[in-house]
Structure 1
Amino acid sequence: MTTAQQLDERYGRTRRRRWPWIVGGGLALLVIGAFSWMTVAQSMASVDADDLGFTLVDEHSVEVSFQVTGVQGRDVVCALEALDEEFGVVGWTIVEIPAGDSHSQAKSVTIPTVAEATTGLVNTCWVA
């Protein structure tokens, strides 16, 4: 008489091992968790700047108004540019904005220029 084990061995019905699937699933969860945390950490340290307008003071300066939305309690640094009618940079400055009580701060900064500017804008901002 043949036993169930002999029939399983004869016809290739063996027990599958579960540990490779468990290890693979654990690694997949670890990778997904790491990417999720990197996404959250990056968004927590992001800064958004919105141009509100500009005023041409004279032929050697332009005033740029902008709003910075970023991390509360952290200093922010912004690079501002003044451009001429051909979009060439005729002036720029770096502005350090100290940490405030709110997530959003409005600022106006005067940029000195070497020629007459036709616009002023925020190039980029980052957490200091």
Structure 2
Amino acid sequence: MTNLDERYGRTRPSLVTRVSKWVSGLSQTLIIGIVAAVLAVGVFGFWLLSTLSGSAASESIRADTLRFVVDDDQQGITIDAQINAPAGKPLACAIEARNERHAIVGWDVVELPPNEQHLQHLSYHLNTVGVPTTVLVAECWIP
């Protein structure tokens, strides 16, 4: 320390003061780190559980449109689809018919009884309120 420090009252903090400030800063950092780690584990766990529970039902069902035929009067459409789903479970599938502007002109939910095979064939006629240009199985689920 110099004479100026003594004159104006600036003193160097003692070793105990410096160590206690370092420990208190370390503990704050440690607490923040622990809280951040707990939040990260919680968010990861929530994501993992929601992914696993959602994929068991939705990813195990797949519907593919094989072909469709528009009626001669253009007020209906017939779809042939193939559905890959768990065997022995009933299914419900939403069918949508759309026009050239992609507006929905027909919609229905078709319920399928349990089938012992994973692969099922669906043939369904859908009445429409406009001229359909395409039809698709929008979604299938186990009711």
Q: TM-score, normalised by structure 2?
A: 0.60
Residues 1:45 and 2:57 are matched in the alignment: yes
The separation in 1 between residues aligned to 2:117 and 2:54, in whole angstroms, is: 20
Post-superposition Cα deviations, 1:3-35, rounded to whole Å, max 9, x if no partner, equal xxxxxxxxxxxxxxxxxxxxxxxxx8xx97xx4
Q: Please state which structure has a larger fraction of its residues in strand.
A: 1
Q: Percent identity?
A: 34
Q: Note the C-alpha offset of 1:61.
A: 0.5
The verdict on how the C-alpha distance between 1:69 and 1:79 changes in structure 2, with shifts beyond 3 A counting, is same
- More relative contact order, 1 or 2 (CA 8 Å, 6+ apart): 1
Which one has a bigger Cα radius of gyration? 2
Which among 96, 115, 127 is matched to residue 81 of structure 1? 96
Whose helix fraction is larger, Structure 1's or Structure 2's?
Answer: 2
Helix, strand or coil for the counterpart of 1:45? Answer: helix
* Distance apart, 1:43 and its partner CA: 3.9
Q: Which runs of 5+ in 2 are unaligned?
A: 1-40
Equivalent residue number for residue 23 of structure 1: none
2:68 is aligned with 1:57: no
Paired residues in the alignment total 97
Q: Is the 8 A contact 1:60 1:116 kept in 2?
A: yes
